[in-house]
């Protein structure tokens, strides 16, 4: 229940309901005041266009951060100005308040503050023009409802800040889970290796010494005790063979389950569908190689969430020509040239330390990261 109440979709559709109620109340008051049918038709058309633009903007049909989304936002601004110029009722400022909430979601705080000042000024000016014969009433409406604009902007900013903190916390949690998965697998490998060494160094040496002693005893003991010594010697040799087999099996390192770590890293990413292709994924035994590939995926996803308009991202890991190949591609579309920051630079340094190469570009589909690491780095 709390998820529904506090979800972004619930807030968006609440705004649509508010706009519909304001539109209906506006038309009712105009009809009650004896406005002409032409006036009602024009006002109703403007309000309907405002509602339609809002629903289109907040709905799933328009890509986030797209040019169409920006166009719908500014179309609402023009419609609101036209409504302000035609209607003198103060409650129509709710249209501007809803618009300011959208500005806080679409733009940086600095830009949203400038838009807030412009919205308050536009409403105040319209009120002063409508109430020229009663300037104090116009000023009162402008001040009162202007404060509502400010309140809406502050609440929106706080909501966006809390949402950003929640997303950052969730990202850190996913990163910790993925890292813990790799460390857990590495810990199991280290423990198996430690046990194998102990078995080989302790039991193996003692059994070898026992076999040598039994070999000597078999040559110096007379019948009927020789048969017993030879049986003991055979059992000791069999036990040593079984011990060597067990040590070999323990030394055979389990492959790092990188897909499992990636699954933990990509769980519940906001507004981004992840598709993974690990059908041709190689067997990775070295924790450093696995961690490097995981960090490359993590940084690529971080860039997608922060800087891209992508809705989908594809991760492919395969082995070709004795090399590991990792590709991360999003569908954010063509954009500005990528300027590497600390994250991408760190990826290049990590991969280079393993003798590999990292490249990225902005193609027609979106941002693409390609990593190549030689298999020898895993030995």
Show Cβ contacts of residue 351 under 8 Å, excluding neighbours closer than 6 positions. Answer: 292, 296, 357, 358, 371, 372, 373
pLDDT for position 117: 93
Note whether 161 and 200 are same-domain residues: no
Domain ends where: 222, 251, 280? 251
Burial class of residue 1 (count of CB atoms within 10 Å of its CB; 0-12, 13-18, 19+): exposed
**Is the pTM value of this prediction over 0.85?**
no
Note whether 18 and 124 are same-domain residues: yes
Q: For tokens 């993974």, name the residue.
A: 276
> Tokens at residue 137, please?
């009433």
Contact 91, 127 (CB under 8 A): no
Note whether 43 and 150 are same-domain residues: yes
What angle in degrees, to the nearest 10, is found between the helix axes of 37-58 and 8-32? 180
Phi, then psi, of 112 in degrees rounded to 5? -60, -35
Residue 97 lies in a domain: yes
Closest alpha carbon to 329 in 346, 316, 313: 313
Domain ends where: 103, 137, 168? 168
Note whether 259 and 243 are same-domain residues: no
Residue 247 lies in a domain: yes
Note whether 142 and 98 are same-domain residues: yes
Note whether 90 and 225 are same-domain residues: no
Domain ends where: 204, 234, 251? 251
Note whether 352 and 288 are same-domain residues: yes
Closest alpha carbon to 297 in 179, 190, 162: 179
Residue 184 lies in a domain: no
Q: For tokens 């309907």, name the residue.
A: 48
d(CA 87, CA 275): 51
Q: How many domains does the chain have?
A: 3
Residue 161 lies in a domain: yes
Note whether 119 and 156 are same-domain residues: yes
Residue 163 lies in a domain: yes
- Structural domain including 357 reads 255-378
Residues of the chain below pLDDT 50: 1-6
pLDDT for position 185: 64
Beta bridge partners of 274: 313
Residue 241 lies in a domain: yes
Note whether 49 and 162 are same-domain residues: yes
pLDDT for position 10: 60
Tens of pLDDT, residue by residue over 312-340, are 888 998 888 888 899 998 887 766 566 77
Note whether 48 and 20 are same-domain residues: yes
SS3 content of the chain, % helix, strand, coil (to 5): 70, 10, 20
Whichever domain contains 345, its CATH number is 3.30.565.10
pLDDT for position 120: 92
Residue 374 lies in a domain: yes
Residue 346 lies in a domain: yes
Note whether 303 and 334 are same-domain residues: yes
Note whether 43 and 98 are same-domain residues: yes
Tens of pLDDT, residue by residue over 107-124, are 888 999 999 999 999 999
């Amino acid at each position: 229940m709390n998820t529904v109440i506090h979800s972004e979709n619930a807030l968006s559709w609440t705004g649509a309901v508010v706009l519909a109620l304001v539109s209906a109340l506006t038309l009712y008051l105009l009809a009650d005041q004896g406005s002409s049918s032409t006036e009602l038709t024009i006002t109703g058309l403007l309000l309907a266009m405002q509602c339609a633009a809002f629903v289109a903007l907040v709905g799933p049909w328009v890509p986030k951060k797209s040019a169409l989304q920006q166009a719908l936002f500014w179309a609402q601004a023009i419609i609101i100005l036209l409504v302000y110029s035609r209607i003198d009722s103060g409650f129509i400022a709710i249209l501007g308040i809803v618009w300011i909430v959208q500005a806080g979601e679409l733009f940086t705080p600095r830009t949203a503050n400038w838009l807030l000042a412009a919205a308050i000024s536009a409403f105040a000016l319209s009120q002063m023009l409508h109430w020229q014969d009663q300037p104090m009433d116009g000023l009162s409406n402008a001040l009162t409802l202007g404060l509502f604009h400010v309140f809406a902007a502050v609440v929106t900013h706080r909501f966006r800040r809390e949402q950003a903190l929640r997303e950052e916390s969730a990202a850190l949690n996913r990163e910790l889970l993925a890292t813990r998965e790799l460390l857990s697998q590495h810990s199991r490998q280290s423990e198996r290796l430690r046990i194998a060494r102990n078995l080989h160094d302790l039991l193996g040496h003692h059994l070898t010494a026992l076999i040598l002693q039994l070999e000597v005893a078999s040559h110096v003991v007379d019948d009927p005790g020789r048969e017993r010594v030879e049986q003991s010697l055979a059992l000791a040799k069999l036990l040593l063979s079984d011990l060597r087999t067990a040590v070999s099996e323990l030394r055979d390192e389990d492959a790092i389950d990188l897909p499992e770590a990636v699954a933990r890293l990509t769980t519940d990413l906001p507004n981004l569908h992840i598709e993974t292709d690990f059908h041709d994924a190689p067997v990775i035994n070295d924790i450093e190689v696995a961690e490097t590939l995981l960090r490359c995926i993590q940084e690529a996803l971080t860039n997608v969430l922060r800087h891209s308009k992508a809705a989908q991202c594809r991760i492919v890991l395969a082995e070709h020509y004795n090399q590991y190949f990792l590709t991360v591609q999003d569908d954010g579309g063509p954009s500005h040239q990528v300027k590497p920051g600390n994250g991408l630079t760190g990826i290049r340094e990590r991969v280079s330390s393993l003798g590999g190469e990292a490249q990225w570009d902005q193609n027609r589909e979106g941002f693409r990261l390609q990593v190549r690491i030689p298999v020898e780095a895993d030995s």
